[in-house]
Amino acid sequence: MESKELISSYDEINDTFVAKVCGKDGYCANYELSQGIFLNVDGNSLPSSIQINGASDVLNVSKDLLEDPDVCILIKCNGDMIDFELSISSKKVYANTFFNTFDVSKFNYKIRTN
């Protein structure tokens, strides 16, 4: 598993959560993994950021929790499936597995705030 540093932000007014991999600028493609959850990838089809629209409803958590800076994302792709897990303050708030219908490259990342 490759570790990456994460910058996360939560916009309470628009209820949007964004987690960006440090050192990645922009994205080449944007894939909706599930309703409201988007995976943004770079030119090598590797994650550059995650965006969750309607985050408090999608994740079924309070807006206060989404403002917590202690965020960890485990995300991996074995070629066929994409596993995604989001924890805030060491509490797992979301986990799901998705079919890789986007031809995303194989990877295994642990992305967390510093």
Sheet containing strand 2-11, strands side by side: 29-34, 37-41, 47-53, 16-21, 2-11, 107-112, 71-77, 81-88, 91-99
Which of the four pLDDT bands, split at 50, 70 and 90, describes residue 31?
A: very high
**pLDDT at residue 114, rounded to an integer:** 66
Which of the four pLDDT bands, split at 50, 70 and 90, describes residue 28?
A: confident
| pLDDT, tens digit, 9 for 90 and up, residues 44-67 | 899 999 999 999 999 999 999 999
pTM: 0.90
